[in-house]
Amino acid sequence: MAENGRDGAAGDGGAERAGRRSARRPRAAYHHGDLRAALLAAGEAELAESGLSGFSLRATARRAGVSHAAPAHHFANADALLAALAVLGFERLVSAMEAEMAAAGAEPRARLAAAGRGYVAFARSSPHLFRLMFFGKRPQNLPGDAPREAPGRAFAILRGAVLAVQGAGVPETEIARDIAAAWGLVHGLAHLLIEEAAAGFLRPFGEAEREAIVAGAIERFAASLP
């Protein structure tokens, strides 16, 4: 009986020590790339809440629940994290454009209009990323390990949609003219819609009416191409 008691006490003590060791473990143990994903998610939330001017790596680390030194394993500084977020934004922009085009069918003008709607829809759903990608002065460059095609893919989709409407044998100057007009339209609409001060003329309309106005403007442009 005494021997069993000693064994029980030893077992209880072992459990207590294990509990203390478990309690000393950090709340979130990141490994195998989890830290990078967590920092990107926290960085996006920090950017949405604080804006580009208030963005900091320390605040992002705090939001992710890690030490302020932990981000250095993946991002040398705040600009490196912002650059990675910009790449993420371009990837989402491409996905939004492609999804709209897939639903539009095969008719070239419908696909061009759909690409424009996807562009505007992305800006409205992720205004913090849209501002970072196109209007922010930080970051100046994408990181060395970033996919360099990320920004170019969205342009390639727009160019391809314009070329499909124009057909073969169109001079490069006319291709560039129509791309400039298409990009200028959807980029301007996106900016108007995410900056309330700039879009005051749309304020009297409800959400459904705003969407119809924007879609109608894009479709009118697509229909106007020769």
Domain presence at residue 124: yes
Q: Comparing 24-33, 112-121, 159-168, which segment has the lowest mean pLDDT?
A: 24-33
Is residue 143 left, alpha or beta, with left meaning phi > 0 and alpha meaning psi from -120 to 50? beta
Give a yes or no: residue 2 inside a domain: no
Domain-located, residue 10: no
Decide which of 29, 59, 75 is a domain's last residue. Answer: 75
Do 165 and 53 share a structural domain? no
pLDDT value of residue 1 = 47
57 and 90 fall within a common domain: no
CA-closest candidate to residue 109, choices 10, 197, 220 = 220
Which residue's structure tokens are 């209009």? Answer: 113
pLDDT, greater one: 163 or 137: 163
Say yes or no: 129 and 196 in one domain.
yes
Least confidently predicted of 5-9, 104-108, 140-144, 161-165: 5-9
Q: For residue 187, which phi and psi values (nearest 5 degrees)?
A: -70, -40
Domain boundary (55, 75, 95) is at 75
Taking only the tens place, the pLDDT of each residue in 31-47 is 545 898 999 999 999 99
Is residue 15, in this structure, part of any structural domain at all?
no
Residue-wise pLDDT for 129-152, tens only, equals 999 998 876 655 555 555 556 678
pLDDT band at 21 (very low <50, low <70, confident <90, very high): very low
Whether residues 69 and 169 fall in one domain: no
Residue 116 burial (CB count, 10 A): 29
C-alpha to C-alpha distance for 183 and 162, rounded to whole angstroms:
10
What is the C-alpha to C-alpha distance for residues 29 and 163, in angstroms, rounded to an integer?
Answer: 50
CATH number assigned to the domain comprising residue 24: 1.10.10.60
Q: Is residue 8 part of a domain?
A: no
Written as one string, the DSSP assignment of the chain is -HHHHHHHHHHHHHHHHHHHHHHHS-S----TTHHHHHHHHHHHHHHHHHTTTT--HHHHHHHHTS-TTGGGGT-SSHHHHHHHHHHHHHHHHHHHHHHHHHHH-S-HHHHHHHHHHHHHHHHHH-HHHHHHHHT----SS--TTS-TTHHHHHHHHHHHHHHHHH-TT--HHHHHHHHHHHHHHHHHHHHHHH-TTTTGGGTTS-HHHHHHHHHHHHHHHHHH--
pLDDT classification of 15: cutoffs 50, 70, 90: very low
Give the range of the structural domain holding residue 62, as residue numbers without chain letter.
20-75
- The three-point CA angle 155-140-31 to 5° equals 90
Residues 58 and 193: their CA atoms lie apart, in Å, by 31
pLDDT band at 218 (very low <50, low <70, confident <90, very high): very high
Q: Are residues 57 and 134 in the same domain?
A: no
pTM for this entry: 0.79
Q: How many domains does the chain have?
A: 2
Are 185 and 91 within one domain? yes
Question: In this model, does residue 57 exceed pLDDT 90?
Answer: yes
